[in-house]
């Protein structure tokens, strides 16, 4: 018996593409607002963690913009051709974030700056901690169905924002409630470490394969009969979309 694997139908692919565009628009809008608030509040209280969080929002906008550019093409072949470039932009965005946040955190730890408590930062981190997981899940689910490595990588960027929100919230609360000013730059270094890891992952990212419908042909099957594993992801070795 032989199997023929089929990707999403043209109609399904068009629907998923529109969904990616909507999710990208939502990501950009939220992160622009988040960046403005975080950077303003971070500068006011000299918080390297809050500044790093704001920069992550800026970088997430660039990441989402790269995906938006990829999916602005109406032709599926053109979108696939842009995939590699989009992944490179996302990876470089992660590295830029890690570099800046590390330098600022080291500056704070060596005594050239000390952060003050920030109620605005605490509220912002809590709100993002509630919103980002939902948005990331929607992005990853759509990206996996479409077989887009860049869309999945962008969902990882959004998921990183969830982790950063939790780290930022803990750091700001420790500084506000316990007076541990050193918790802020330590939280920033955790943010930088996670950003480096995700940057490497995006840089080494391989093309993702779409979910497939397996059609069986053989003496025990009628031609064109769908296999029981219909709709599963047809990942090849090295593909991380389905993990």
> Cβ distance 125 to 53 under 8 Å?
yes
pLDDT of residue 111: 67
Cα–Cα dist 43/39, whole Å: 6
The edge-to-edge listing of strands for the beta sheet with 221-226 is: 2-6, 213-218, 221-226
Domains of the chain: 7-207 (1.20.1510.10)
Among 101, 26, 93, 42, smallest CA distance to 63 is for 93
**Backbone φ, ψ for residue 9 (5° rounding):** -70, 160
Q: What is the CA radius of gyration of the chain?
A: 21
CA distances from 221 to 193, 215, 232, 234 (A): 52, 9, 19, 21
Token pair of 215 as six digits: 């059609």
Cα–Cα dist 87/160, whole Å: 16
Largest Cα separation within the chain, whole Å, is 76
Mention every residue, 6+ apart, whose C-beta is less than 8 A from residue 186: 105, 109, 171
pLDDT of residue 40: 92
Mention every residue, 6+ apart, whose C-beta is less than 8 A from residue 180: 174
Token pair of 138 as six digits: 């929607």
> Cβ distance 167 to 196 under 8 Å?
no
Residue 237, classed as helix, strand or coil, is: coil
| pTM to 2 decimal places | 0.66
The segments of the chain whose pLDDT lies below 50 read 1-5, 206-207, 209-210, 212-238, 242-243
- CA torsion through residues 55, 56, 58, 62, sign: positive
> Cβ distance 50 to 172 under 8 Å?
yes
**Backbone φ, ψ for residue 238 (5° rounding):** 95, -15
pLDDT of residue 112: 61
> Cβ distance 48 to 107 under 8 Å?
yes
Number of Cβ atoms within 10 Å of the Cβ of 139 = 28
**Backbone φ, ψ for residue 110 (5° rounding):** -85, 5
């Amino acid at each position: 018996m032989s199997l023929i694997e089929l990707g999403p139908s043209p109609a399904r692919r068009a629907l998923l593409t529109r969904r990616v565009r909507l999710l990208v628009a939502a990501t950009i809008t939220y992160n622009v607002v988040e960046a403005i608030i975080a950077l303003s509040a971070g500068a006011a209280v000299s918080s390297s963690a809050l500044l790093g969080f704001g920069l992550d929002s800026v970088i997430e906008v660039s990441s989402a913009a790269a995906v938006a550019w990829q999916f602005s093409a109406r032709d599926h072949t053109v979108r696939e051709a842009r995939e590699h470039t989009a992944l490179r932009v996302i990876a470089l965005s992660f590295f830029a974030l890690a570099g800046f946040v590390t330098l600022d955190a080291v500056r704070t730890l060596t005594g050239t700056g000390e952060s003050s408590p920030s109620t605005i930062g605490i509220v912002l981190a809590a709100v993002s901690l509630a919103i980002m997981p939902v948005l990331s899940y929607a992005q990853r689910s759509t990206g996996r169905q479409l077989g887009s490595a860049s869309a999945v990588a962008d969902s990882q960027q959004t998921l990183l924002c969830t982790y950063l929100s939790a780290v930022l919230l803990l750091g700001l609360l420790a500084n506000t409630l316990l007076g541990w000013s050193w918790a802020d730059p330590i939280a920033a270094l955790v943010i930088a470490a996670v950003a480096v890891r995700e940057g490497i992952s995006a840089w080494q990212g391989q093309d993702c394969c779409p979910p497939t419908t397996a059609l069986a042909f053989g003496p025990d099957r009628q031609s064109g009969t769908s296999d029981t594993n219909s709709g599963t992801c047809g990942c090849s070795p090295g593909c991380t979309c389905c993990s």
